[in-house]
């Protein structure tokens, strides 16, 4: 009987954990969002603030998307780099909304898997597409590799003579 109760408790705990994770997943990407309009708005802000636009393309179904999002929002150094240098936008790709027009304009970045990162300059031009697999390490993303990647594509890195620093 003790084994049965312990097993039941383990199953309940697992189910609770899965439900909690599904809740987290549901809040990163908005399948109903108009990605084209959101990108235009992000570019307008980036232009005024001399930043680049960081597009994280993926979906709420993607555990690697969640892992990356958690990393850059929990690690204070990565959060600072993102906030100081990028206008960040999560672009949904899912069965509900594949954003096909946007994906076409961005050169079909999903061919690299998800998440995939696209950097736009302050005029909305795509300057880099990053396969996130190159930033992975173990069961997540390498903090060091992500930091290096983020620093390499800042406005200041691309325009050192025009940088506000």
Radius of gyration of the chain (CA): 18
Residue 62 has pLDDT above 80, yes or no: yes
Average pLDDT, the chain: 89
Instruction: Identify the residue whose tokens are 């908005």.
Output: 30
Instruction: Parse the chain into domains and list their residue ranges.
Output: 2-158
- 3-state helix/strand/coil string of 65-96: HHHHHHHHHHCHHHHHHHHHHEEEEEEECCCC
Proportion of the chain above pLDDT 70, given as a percent: 82
Calpha distance 73→71 (Å, rounded): 5
Considering only 22-26, 71-75, 148-152, which range has the smallest mean pLDDT? 22-26
Cβ 146 vs Cβ 70: under 8 Å? no
Q: How many angstroms separate the CA atoms of 81 and 134, rounded?
A: 19
Taking the C-alpha atoms of residue 75 and residue 112, their distance in angstroms, rounded to an integer, is 25
Tokens of 52: 């680049």
Pick the CATH number of 2-158 from 3.30.565.10, 3.20.20.450, 3.40.30.10, 3.90.1150.10: 3.40.30.10
Higher pLDDT, 17 or 60: 60
């Amino acid at each position: 009987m003790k084994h049965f109760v312990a097993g039941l408790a383990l199953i309940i705990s697992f189910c609770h954990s899965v439900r909690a994770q599904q809740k987290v997943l549901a809040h990163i990407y908005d399948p109903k969002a108009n990605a084209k309009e959101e990108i235009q708005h992000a570019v307008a802000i980036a232009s005024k603030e001399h930043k680049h636009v960081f597009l994280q393309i993926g979906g709420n179904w993607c555990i690697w998307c969640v892992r990356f999002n958690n990393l850059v929002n929990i690690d204070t150094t990565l959060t600072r780099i993102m906030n100081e240098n990028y206008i960040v936008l999560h672009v949904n790709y899912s069965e509900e909304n594949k954003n096909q027009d946007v994906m076409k304009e961005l050169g079909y970045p999903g061919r690299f898997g998800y998440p995939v990162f696209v950097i736009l300059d302050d005029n909305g031009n795509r300057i880099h597409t990053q396969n996130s697999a190159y930033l992975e390490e173990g069961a997540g993303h390498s903090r060091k590799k992500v930091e290096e990647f983020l620093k390499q594509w800042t406005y200041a890195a691309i325009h050192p003579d025009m940088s506000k620093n």
